[in-house]
Amino acid sequence: RAEGDSHRPRFHFVSPAGWLNDPNGLSHWNGVYHLFYQYNPLKAVHSRIHWGHATSPDLVTWTDAPVALVPGDDADAADADGCWSGVLVNDNGVPTLIYSGRRDEQELPCVAVGSKDLTEWVVDAANPVISAPPAALELTAFRDHCVWPHPGGGWRQLIGSGIRGQGGTALLYESPDLRNWSYLGPLIVGDSGDRDTTADDWTGTMWECVDLFRLEAAGGDHEPVDPDVLVFSAWDDGVTRHTLYLTGRYSGTRFERTALHRLDYGGRYFYAPQSTLDARGRRVMFGWLQEGRSDAAAEAAGWSGVMSLPRLVSRSPDGTLYQEPVPELETLRREHVRLDGFVLTRGDRRAGLLPGDQFDIVADLHLEPGSESELVVRATDDGAERTVIRLSRPDDPDADVTLELVRTASSLDATVDATSRSGPIRHVDGQIHLRVLADHSALEIFANGQPLACRVYPTRADALGVEFVGIRGRVHVKEAASWLMADIWDAPRRLWPER
Ligand code: DQQ
């Protein structure tokens, strides 16, 4: 970390320097968590993308491993212009990467095999292993991979794509050996043309980073109605929009959808997620927290992109996803305060939680119908900078609570994104379990298991204040606690770890 870089996170994973985007090859292999990521070690811009690699025993602290994939030297190499997103699978004990090799502005599926410790990778001489997208379709793009062993033997793969005039899609393939693939058809096609293209749940003209998984029913052994989840990042002609998921049922060749949902209310700020099942049977997900500052500002800082904290993804009783930070992160908690319950009415202000730019706050609130309150963080004394986390409950007791992140005064720097983010929060009788993790420019909020990840760039060194504010009605803060969080990046890091 450059001295004085107040935006660089200290308990999130960040690349040693340069550019980071999607999580790739996520896995828990022989007791070690592996996080690969889209990486340009040379500059904080998205150009010839490598695969960075780091390992962790606990999802908390990370050790840099040698860069895993480097774009091919030879201009004819299938990945001469970049090694784009993909996954790691266990091919009968052989660690195997399936990724998108980029050349001449086109991506095609490639394979690489790894050493036992996953640090040395050899690309397959036959790359690309699929030489062209299905010819019968007019596709908007063809990249990113979700690969799993087929119960009947062999492998299945989804490749993100879009059919012109129809919408985003995930194309299904099968293979006996990860090298020879047969096209089976689209698993499901979006409906982008029929939807409001400005909506928070617009499905885009292409689906990036598709991730299909099955979740067990919450706390029961009955057969869940919608056991399957298809996550995708809706993309439109070079613009990253937001990440969505479909719940439904995967039948082998089709995905019968039940409902479409937003994955994270931060929109583009939690993008291209990937998940894996760890040895404890937990579904762990990471996403890319992209920048809200200008490209020039990121380049000047020498780094761009933050990996989200690892999230546990489970099923809530209504069938949607419940997301929360992995409990292991609590080992980073240090100085602590706890506030006893209090009530907020209009104009009330309540300080007492620890000021800081690197903290974890937990609060249990009860919002009466027609009430609203704010948790203000990263605030200067004069209020010139302040980031507002607002919860409001309509008069109608059956209506959802709204979570809103207001960034209009988050930064005095007029060049950073200051747009607000919001979404509905399910609740029982106005009860909200709120969690806020702030780590310099990274901010991750969870309300009743619904996340809102974002970035904020306060400029003033004293933008550290934290307080609750009553806006209207009665909000009971039943209990609130905060912890300052430890650094995970004590040791100096090398930009390009040698093999
Ligand atoms: N990022 C990768 C692509 C993917 C996109 C390129 C999503 O493979 O579609 O860096 O952010």
Two structure tokens written together for 155: 């492998």
Q: Which residue, by CA, sits nearest to atom 10 of ligand 1?
A: 84
Q: Which of 296, 324, 352 delimits the end of a domain?
A: 324
> What secondary structure does DSSP assign to 244-311, as a single string?
EEEEEEE-SS-EEEEEEEES-TTGGGSEEEEEEE-TTS-EEEEEEE---S-HHHHHHHTEE-EEPPPE
Active site members: 22
Q: Is the residue at 167 inside a domain?
A: yes
Residues 204 and 267 in one domain: yes
Domain-terminating residue out of 271, 295, 324: 324
Mean pLDDT over all residues of the chain? Answer: 96
**Tokens 């996080």 belong to residue:** 35
Task: Establish whether residue 272 lines the binding site of ligand 1, counting it when its CB lies within 6 angstroms of any ligand atom.
Answer: yes
Ligand 1 atom having least distance to the Cα of 46: 10
Q: What is the pLDDT of residue 369?
A: 98
Protein residue with least CA distance to atom 6, ligand 1: 84
Give per-residue pLDDT as tens, 312-344.
Answer: 999 998 889 999 999 999 999 999 999 999 999
Closest atom of ligand 1 relative to the 84 alpha carbon: 8
Token pair belonging to 280: 């404890």
Q: Based on the fold, state whether residues 304 and 342 are members of the same structural domain.
A: no
Quote the number of domains for the chain: 2
Our mutation pick for probing the ligand 1 site, out of 24, 37, 38, counting the most ligand atoms within 8 A of Cβ, is: 38
Do 356 and 219 have their domain in common?
A: no
* Residue 50 in domain: yes
| pLDDT tens by residue, 253-266 | 999 999 999 999 99
Q: Are residues 335 and 314 in the same domain?
A: no
Label residue 199 exposed, middle or buried (CB < 10 Å: 0-12, 13-18, 19+). exposed
Helical residues (DSSP H) of 394-467, grouped into ranges:
none
> What amino acid occupies position 421?
R
**What pLDDT sits at residue 493?**
86
CATH number of domain containing 473: 2.60.120.560
Whether 287 is in a domain gets the answer yes
Judgement on whether residues 302 and 435 belong to the same structural domain of the protein? no
Domain-embedded: residue 1 = no
Q: Which two tokens stand for residue 173?
A: 């393939």
Tell me if 4 is assigned to some domain. no
Distance 169 CA to ligand 1 centre (A): 15
HSE (CB half, 13 Å, CA atoms) of 53? 24
Can you tell me whether residue 123 is helix, strand or coil? Answer: strand
Say whether pLDDT at 499 is over 70. Answer: no
Our answer on whether the CB atom of 143 is closer than 6 Å to any ligand 1 atom is yes
Of 286, 303, 324, the residue that ends a domain is 324
- 104 alpha carbon – ligand 1 mean position (Å): 16
- Cβ 84 under 6 angstroms from ligand 1: yes
The pLDDT of residue 217 is 62
Residue 289 pLDDT class (50, 70, 90 cuts): very high
pTM assigned to the model: 0.97
Give the β-pairing of 63-69 and 82-91.
Answer: unpaired
Same domain, 48 and 173: yes
The answer to the question of residue 345 being in a domain is yes
Q: What is the CATH number of the domain that holds 58?
A: 2.115.10.20
* Dist. CA 433 → ligand 1 center (Å): 33
Residue 1 has pLDDT above 50, yes or no: no
Alpha carbon of 415 to ligand 1 centroid (Å): 25
Q: Stretch 276-293: mean pLDDT, rounded?
A: 98
Q: Are residues 339 and 320 in the same domain?
A: no
ipTM over 0.90: yes
